Amino acid sequence: MVKGHVEYEPGSGPRHFVFNADGVLYTLNELKSTISAHRFPPLPEAPTLLHTTSTFASPPNPLGACLAAELLLSSSGPSPPYLYASNRNDPSPLGDPLSIFSLANPETPTLVGDVCSGVQHMRGVVVGGEGGGFVVLGGGVKMYEQEDARRALREVAALPGVEAPTGFLWL
């Protein structure tokens, strides 16, 4: 049996991952608030680290309690896919940011924007709805509509009184 593994920076805390159609693995590293991109050659060769980037447009220094939380791939429609990375516990009064990364070059996720959510300790982020055109996030509940071919989000609904939701289901 051939076995392999993916190398990460010690202490980075790999948490969530997604694959894109180009065979690139994107991993959200919770403790370092970064995204790593790896290419997978045929076994027994080891995966190749392609790129690592911060999940914050302006990372707090030190990161302290700021943690990357969830990673989602939004890939419906004709435009290039995008990654959405949630960050928790940002000390800003504007709330936890949801960062948006272009995958126009699949090997190098590029931060193209972020949304200051107004929520604290963001959880349960999902992409869905008709055509996959909406993003819902918890910490309260907020719904955003994707705009500008998924590279921007516009808030369309909020329900602030909900405490600590961890998931959402599209019906």
114-162 residue pLDDT tens: 888 888 888 788 888 887 788 898 888 889 998 877 778 899 999 888 8
Q: Which of 104, 118, 106 is nearest to 151 (CA)?
A: 104
pTM for this predicted structure: 0.88
Looking at residue 156, its pLDDT comes to 94
**Residues 143 and 130: beta-carbon distance below 8 Å:** no
Residue-wise DSSP of 33-100: TEEEEEE-PSTTSPPEEEEEEESSSS--SS-TT-EEEEEEEE--SSSPPEEEEEEE---STT--EEEE
Cα angle: 7, vertex 12, 16; to 5 degrees = 80
Token pair belonging to 13? 């805390």
Of the ranges 53-62, 92-101, 142-151, which one carries the lowest mean pLDDT score? 53-62
CA–CA gap between residue 138 and residue 9 (Å, rounded): 29
Phi, psi dihedrals of residue 130, rounded to the nearest 5°? -60, 120
The whole-angstrom separation of Cα 144 and Cα 148 is 13
- 85 near 75, Cβ under 8 Å? no
| DSSP state at residue 75 | -
Most confidently modeled of 13-22, 24-33, 62-71?
A: 24-33
Q: What are the extents of the domains in the chain? A: 14-122
User: What is the end-to-end Cα distance of the chain in Å, rounded?
Assistant: 42
